[in-house]
Structure 1
Amino acid sequence: MTADAPQVIWFEALGRGDVARVGGKNASLGEMVGHLGAQGVSVPPGFATTAEAYWRFVEANRLEDAIEGALNDLKAGKASLHETGQNIRRAFLRGDWPEATAQQIRQAYRQLSKRAGAADTDVAVRSSATAEDLPDASFAGQQETFLNIRGEAALLDACRRCYASLFTDRAISYRETKGFEHLKVALSVGVQKMVRSDLGGAGVMFSIDTESGFDKVVVLDAAWGLGENVVQGAVDPDEYQVFKPLLDDAALTPIIEKKLGGKSLKMLYATGAEQATRNVPTSKAERAAFVLDDQEILQLARWACTIEAHYGMPMDMEWAKDGDSGQLYIVQARPETVQSRKEAGALKSYHLKSKGAKLVEGLSIGDAVVTGKVCFIRSAQEIERFVDGAILVTETTDPDWVPIMKRAAAIVTDHGGRTSHAAIVSRELGLPAIVGTGNATEILHDDQEVTVSCAEGDEGFVYAGIGEFDVEPLSLDDIPKTRTAVMLNLANPAAAFRWWRLPTDGVGLARMEFVVSNHIKVHPMALVRFDTLQDEEAKQRIVELTRGYADKTEYFVDRLARGLARIAAAYHPKPVIVRMSDFKTNEYANLIGGAEFEPREENPMLGFRGASRYYSPRYREGFALECRAIRRLREAMGFSNVVVMIPFCRSTKEADRVLDVMAQNGLRRGENGLEVYVMCEVPSNVVLAKAFAERFDGFSIGSNDLTQLTLGVDRDSDELAELFDEQDEAVKWMIRTVIEAAHRCGAKVGLCGQAPSDHPAFAELLVACGIDSMSVSPDSFIAVKRHVAAAEAQGHDAQAAAPQAPAS
């Protein structure tokens, strides 16, 4: 300590080089106030007490001996962690402020109140440890924060309680684990003008996807009221995701995810003297509404990009919206400490081979699968009964739970979002977790054997019993480059970010019908004709699903556009080929409200499917919704890398009718760079390849259907399984012929199917024929890439290697 060292410093006089003086949190606030205000980032004003003030408090109250003695007793086994923390905290709370320190805090508070234009202004009092927010340690939520503090006496008491929180059980345990010396870590207190988010909303924001590490999105969580409920995981917040590369264009709205959360509680100012804040239930209208509108989401996302660019690393931020002024603020920013440091090569593919009945579902954290027995813990006080290696099931977690969480195999909670305490700590510990299930504590019980799966995308599932699964490490080292593009087949938007690190050439097949069946669930015509729908049960389900949408068709367009946007974002600016809906009539009929709009067919595989639906009076209005979604995706959201593909187009006459209907709905081939492909899965596509190439920009060979129709074999027939062979000479002739014809006309040709994954010889055939691209499943991408590279290295001559037409 030095006699003239300042004990209070205003934020604007601080920068990120001041961690030793005021801790990471306050240094970062000073950095933003001093450097980012000019770029439009709003940070509430305030000041910080310094490490010097902390050490003077410790010295004045002779706390060093008490701390050292208590920690020695802990190491010697004479006291428990709980007793140790309690004794040290009690000593702090009994301490008196040195008069000089107290006077500087009072004077700064008076100046802050004067700036705010109010006597005894309301402030947030936040702890900032001088070792926190380092690249390999987050210290997330380990010290206390106190909100709505008013008056000098209350402020000094809150600062004292912040000091004491440096020795909570979880903080002691964490420093022991990380090897930090307890008496070399000081605590600074940040005193910041409160944002009236109790009248508005607040939440957390990351400049990186917290699950996959995908670095081109901003992820935001939002709830009504003060932000502590989001941080603590006490509510299920709204979730928004924004694609960063398109944010610079003010004409675009690249919000690729808007998920409505339950938001059952909100934290408000309390009026009584006992406590400063209280939780109350939200109204039905608040639960049904998004906390932020699109422009607010975009403004926060742009701030996230500004902050990330300034710091030169992915960031974890807290934001608040003032309900009086409508103004948005950033109230905290720290480095993101998990995904940004994860090795790019640490990619594993988990595949469930068997699973029991689905018991609960929620948001998945991590991407692993774990099996084991449930241990249901109601509170951190029950820590002693936790079984090492069990699956922890509880309502929610806070920092007191960390000692239990470190011993768990997986974590399942009733409440919380992706930025809740349970989610953040699970990521740091490398544990799979499922948060926000709503009912895990009601369904799961002690000693129950379950499988926890976080390997199926954004949603995580708990299945009954011990399932079987495979784990395959995927090395991204030394993947060869190829002339032939190798792309991915993707359907599930929730899993799109999982594979972003693969060096793919884009997406060769994004199946629209998966988004419709899993994320929309309603037949589009049931939305168009909702008022005349006869099925009352279906009508009720539609009302529930379309909650918040005044126009029910907008529900379809919005959900479809955003679902496809996640796939388009993961590989932007590389091409993403979206196949328009290709359900069969029996599959359409299974959608909510679908039975009234679908004919019964003996053979749906060869019936009313693909292109034939798009211009038909039966479905034309439904196809118009698909076109609206694609147009929004490309033009309003900015994903011009999306290519449209038409499935099961039997004739050129049909092609002309479909292209005309698309044009009527604002999707005209060649306009705004729009490319339109056609699936090559009917022999007529090969026979009339030149004519189809005049109408479309490219072909995508659907090898399953093309094999089925070339050989006249039902691909689903057990009796004919031996005859279904994609490597049959007739099928090979079809493939070679369409490639040659398309290339003569300047059209591109790809193949989407499993055959190149299963049969290296088939990949060699495609290379020999000069195909432009192959599209395969993500887990087989690396193997196919190597097969293709080997075939290209052999220098196959297309004419010599390709099969000749079979004799007639």
Structure 2
Amino acid sequence: MRPIIWFEEVKRGDIGLVGGKNASLGEMVQTLAPEGVRVPPGFATTADAYWNYIEANDLSGRIDELLAGMAAGKETLAETGKAIRTLILKGEWPERTASAITDAYRVLCKRTGKADVDVAVRSSATAEDLPDASFAGQQETYLNISGGKALLEACRRCYASLFTDRAISYRMAKGFDHMSVALSIGVQQMVRSDLGGAGVMFSIDTETGFKDMVVIDAAWGLGENVVQGAVDPDEYQVFKPLLPDRSLTPVIGKTLGEKAQKMIYASGDSPTRNVPTSKAERTAFVLSEPEILTLARWATAIEVHYGCPMDMEWAKDGETGEIFIVQARPETVQSQREDTTFKSYTIGEKGKTLVRGLAIGDAVVSGRVCLIEDARDIDRFVDGSILVTGTTDPDWVPVMKRAAAIVTDHGGRTSHAAIVSRELGLPAIVGTGNATHVLHSEQEVTVSCAEGDQGFVYEGTASFETETVDVADLPETRTQIMLNLANPAAATRWWRIPADGVGLARMEFVISNHIRVHPMALVRYDQLKDEAAKREIADLTAGYSSKTEYFVDRLSRGLSRIAAALYPRPVIVRMSDFKTNEYAGLIGGAEFEPEESNPMIGFRGAARYYSPRYREGFALECQAISRLRNEMGFRNVVVMIPFCRSTKEADRVLEVMAGNGLKRGEQGLQVFVMCEIPSNVVLAAEFAKRFDGFSIGSNDLTQLTLGVDRDSGELAELFDEQDAAVKWMIANVIAEARKAGAKIGLCGQAPSDHPEFAAFLVECGIDSISVSPDSFVAVKRQVAAAEAAQKH
């Protein structure tokens, strides 16, 4: 019997000896140091030491009796768990085991050069971190433990935590024999993250299963608050395929969390306590971009080594600035899902938005609220209700299993509520901030996680549709089928679709939803007359080095989510195509836009880009695209110019772009033009000399060919994309483009709605058709059928 073993002597195959958590720490210490991955030093007690403790105190038979009584219904789970924990806590340490632990602790003190070094004492069960059972948070961890006596007491409490109510319940649900599971304890030098920050990291997108993303949550202080969901952390997203190039910074998402409190060291009976964060801490990111990239590279190295997506905890030492990995385990939800089949939820008619937060999962559920603010009241939960609470911890798991959905005030994507909801397959919305104040028991609501990474609770029962999409058996087509995407938050939901790229990414969606400010109001902020708009802009841009940097940063990151979703396939980004009335609706926009009687054919598209009214705003768009391609590394991005009326206008726009660092042909930059005006068709050969390709905007082309306002209810019957005149336009521009060697596609709705229109485009020899994701499977099949018919 060997009571303790050092991490550097343990490998991942030693789960039976030291449990999943400690086996993983030893594996990283032994194998990943050459990759730069740092793990704090420490040792583990063995499963033998646990069984020796149980045997020395004659506990096995008594524990069996108590468990049998519970199984027979004589005692409740709570009564049984408490009785077993009391037995273990009253036990005495076998002398050999106690000496081995305290001797190893003294050696650790010498290694670290610190007398009575403060350590983290973590439970590591021999049935945990398995591919299909995480056991996350089932046993206890004790932080800032110092001295041999305090260490032995913390170890005893870890043993007792093998029989918390939640652990007993989880083992029963997973079919594990209680008395075949042992507990190892990891004793590891504390990282002084109480003076720095800590958090959780996944090497896979926890919501969509997108395998090319690292997701990092971060908060000030010790990491327990992030794990428990007690704070709303920062969130960072990093695109893995571009990490090997050290000249790039592929951080595709940065969200500032509130981080209202932090856990720090304390003295006396409780070794840690929570204190409020300062205003400066709440408004600052915990990690710098170099630190984010370092962690993401470590996550990738750990994933490659283990051969599966990983769930990790990290900590940053506030004294030395060093970052460490303190836990790593296999991710157990998304990694188990089929890559080719997924459910798609589409929400229809809905009530007003009551609260919003981070979406966990992608489902939609309607039901009645059951509001419970304190774990002591969980007996009041009504099965099948939507659980609404401040935050959850492992004590809530028995109730969470019986919920239809979960909504919390606090927590990020890696909080307890988020992790357990994923494992249970429940939709959840975490970090709403105010759900327990706004919602009430018995209230009928709809929880929607189907609209991107934001989740919404709607009043009443909303209508929604569910479709199971299987992309495994889709036919091959010569014609490329691409996607129309606008919402960065939802882009990675569609990574499983075998699309040939993104045929239309609409920049204006990112501007209106993620930026919200008119670019000229940022350029000329000091000249703004609207004081209310100035205050709102000041709030939105707080923390940025300049007002314009806010625009460039938010736009480049928003578009990067779309560029990443189908990388390295082409992603065609259309430069902003608001009408003047839409621009005027942005914050601060009214002062910079003329009033027009017909904005649809007014000051829009290419005409704006070289105009003194908007040229500086367009420069910011160009800077964002340059950052996206050259600094972040998304060279798959193609730029597209909308509503370009003449070749003279094309020349002026290309000149302005080149002056802003976007020169066609440089570093592989392709520039396309929308074909949506009859002049684009008439002079297609001339436009093809200036652009690498065309994208037919069938809505505007139909409107201008037929002279029909597409928004007019009176003329609705006349608006027909299959009109002979419109089809003549499309056929001719395809022929001219092919003759000139330019690429040509179509990004309208018609192929989705009309199979015969897709067949017409195939017959004309179009290169690509771009459709909404929910139409992809149908259009792919329509095009395959049309191509087969063409051959015959």
Shorter-chain TM-score: which interval? over 0.9
Query: By how many angstroms is 1:351 displaced?
Result: 1.2
From 247, 258, 275, give the equivalent of 2:270.
Answer: 275
Q: Which amino acid aligns with 1:397?
A: T
Q: CA separation in 2, counterparts of 1:382 and 1:548?
A: 41
Q: Name structure 2 gaps, 5 residues minimum.
A: none
Partner SS state of residue 344, structure 2: strand
Contact 1:451 1:466 in 2 (8 A): yes
Report if the CA contact (8 A) 1:229-1:267 is conserved: yes
Q: Deviations over 1:530-555 (max 9, x none)?
A: 11111111111111111111201000
Q: 1:457 is matched with which residue?
A: 452
CA distance in 2, matches of 1:565, 1:345: 24
Which residue of 1 is the match for residue 407 of structure 2?
A: 412
1:254-269 maps to which residues of 2 (within 5 A)? Answer: 254-269=250-265
1:477 CA drift (Å)? 2.5
CA distance in 1, matches of 2:779, 2:80: 58
* Letter in structure 1 aligned against 2:92: D
1:645 aligns with 2:640: yes
Provide the residue aligned with 1:29 in structure 2. 25
C-alpha separation between the residues in 2 aligned to 1:542 and 1:153? 56
1:45 aligns with 2:41: yes
- 1:46-61 matches, cutoff 5 A: 46-61=42-57
Residue number in structure 2 paired with 1:802: none
Among 161, 168, 174, the residue aligned to 1:165: 161
Q: Which residue of 2 aligns with 1:800?
A: none
**1:627 aligned onto 2:622:** yes
Query: How many Å separate the matches in 2 of 1:698 and 1:796?
Result: 26
**One-letter amino acid of the counterpart of residue 736, structure 2:** A
Whether 2:243 is the aligned partner of 1:247: answer yes
State, as a whole percentage, how many aligned pairs show the same letter: 74
Partner of 2:772: 777
The aligned residue for residue 737 of structure 2 is 742
State yes or no: 1:574 paired with 2:569: yes
The answer to whether structure 1 residue 564 and structure 2 residue 559 are counterparts is: yes
- Match of residue 134 from structure 2: 138
The answer on 1:62 being equivalent to 2:58 is yes
Which residue in 2 is equivalent to 1:326?
A: 321
Q: Distance in 2 between matches of 1:125 and 1:297?
A: 27
Deviations 1:567-613 (A, max 9, x none): 00111100000000000001001111111111111011010000000
Indicate the SS of the match to 1:510: strand
**Paired residues for 1:605-620 under 5 Å:** 605-620=600-615
Name the residue aligned to 1:396.
391
Runs of 4+ in 1 over 2 A off after TM superposition: none
DSSP-derived class of the 1:354 partner = coil
1:307 aligns with 2:321: no
State whether structure 2 residue 78 is matched by structure 1 residue 85. Answer: no
Taking the aligned partners of 2:194 and 2:613, their CA distance within structure 1 comes to: 50
- Two-structure CA RMSD over aligned residues (Å): 0.7
Equivalence for 2:596: 601
* Aligned 8 A contact 1:768 1:796 in 2: no
Deviations for 1:725-770, whole angstroms, at most 9, x for unmatched residues?
0000001000000001011111000000111010000000000000
Partner of 1:367: 362
The code of the aligned residue for 2:451 comes to E
Q: What letter is aligned with 1:663?
A: A
Which residue does the alignment assign to 1:116?
112
**Counterpart residue identity of residue 302, structure 2:** I
Could you say which residue in structure 1 is the equivalent of 2:123? 127
Query: What does the per-residue CA deviation read over 1:41-66, in whole Å, with 9 as the maximum and x for residues that have no partner?
Result: 10000000000000000011111122
Amino acid at match of 1:562: R
Measure, in 1, the Cα distance between the counterparts of 2:135 and 2:383. 23
TM-superposition CA deviations, 1:324-355 (whole Å, max 9, x none): 00001000000000000112244112111110
Distance across 2 between alignment mates of 1:549 and 1:40: 31
Contact 1:11 1:47 survives alignment (8 Å): yes
CA–CA separation in structure 2 for the residues paired with 1:709 and 1:312? 55
Deviations 1:593-646 (A, max 9, x none): 111111111011010000000000000000000000000000000000000000
Deviates more, 1:70-79 or 1:426-435: 70-79
Alpha-carbon contact 1:372-1:449 (below 8 Å) kept? yes
Residue 126 (structure 1) shift: 0.1
* Equivalent AA in structure 2 for residue 164 of structure 1: A
How far apart, in 2, do the equivalents of 1:39 and 1:366 lie? 33
SS in 1 for 2:110: helix
Whether 2:723 is the aligned partner of 1:728: answer yes
- TM-score norm. by structure 2 comes to 1.00
Matched residue type, 2:440? H
Structure 1 position 796, deviation (Å): 6.0
C-alpha contact 1:21 1:51 (8 A) present in aligned 2: yes
Is it true that 1:586 corresponds to 2:581 in the alignment? yes
Contact 1:134 1:335 in 2 (8 A): yes
* Residue of structure 2 aligned with 1:680, choices 651, 659, 675: 675
Aligned residue for 2:712?
A: 717
**What is the deviation of 1:273?**
1.1
Unaligned runs of at least 5 residues, structure 1: 798-808
Matched, 1:528 2:507: no
Residue type at the aligned position of 2:320 = S
Counterpart in the other structure of 1:659: 654
Separation (CA, whole Å) in 1 of partners of 2:30 and 2:132:
26
- Classify the secondary structure of the residue corresponding to 2:206: coil
Q: Retained in 2: the 8 A contact 1:124–1:191?
A: yes
Is 1:538 the equivalent of 2:533? yes
Distance 2:196 2:536 in 1: 31
Counterpart selection for 1:694 from 676, 689, 692: 689
Residues 488-567 of structure 1 correspond to what in structure 2 (within 5 A)? 488-567=483-562
- For the 8 Å contact 2:219–2:262, the answer to whether it is kept is yes
The aligned counterpart of 1:806 is none
* 1:11-30 map, 5 Å: 11-30=7-26
User: Counterpart of 1:801?
Assistant: none
Taking the aligned partners of 2:98 and 2:386, their CA distance within structure 1 comes to 47
How far apart, CA to CA, are the structure 2 residues paired with 1:539 and 1:449?
Answer: 39
Q: Structure 2 CA distance, aligned partners of 1:437 and 1:480?
A: 43
2:547, 2:157 → 1: CA distance? Answer: 52
> Residue 340 in 1 paired to residue 332 in 2?
no
Partner of 1:234: 230
Tell me if the contact between 2:341 and 2:472 (Cα under 8 Å) persists in the aligned partners.
no
Alpha carbons 1:380, 1:400 under 8 Å: kept? yes
Q: Distance in 2 between matches of 1:140 and 1:779?
A: 35
**SS of corresponding position for 2:106:** helix
Name the CA distance, whole Å, in 1 between partners of 2:511 and 2:422: 31
Cα distance in 2 for residues equivalent to 1:343 and 1:634: 32
Distance 2:544 2:62 in 1: 61
2:290 maps to 295
In structure 2, how many angstroms separate the alpha carbons of the residues matched to 1:38 and 1:366?
36
Distance in 1 (alpha carbons) for counterparts of 2:70 and 2:388 = 29
Q: Which residue of 1 aligns with 2:90?
A: 94
2:432 alignment partner, SS class: coil
Contact 1:49 1:189 in 2 (8 A): yes
Distance across 2 between alignment mates of 1:796 and 1:57: 77
The SS at the match of 1:148 is strand
Q: Are the equivalent residues in 1 in contact too, given 2:18–2:183 (CA < 8 A)?
A: yes
The letter for the 2-side match of 1:337 is T
Is the Cα–Cα contact under 8 Å of residues 24 and 129 in structure 1 kept in the other structure?
Answer: yes
The aligned counterpart of 2:179 is 183
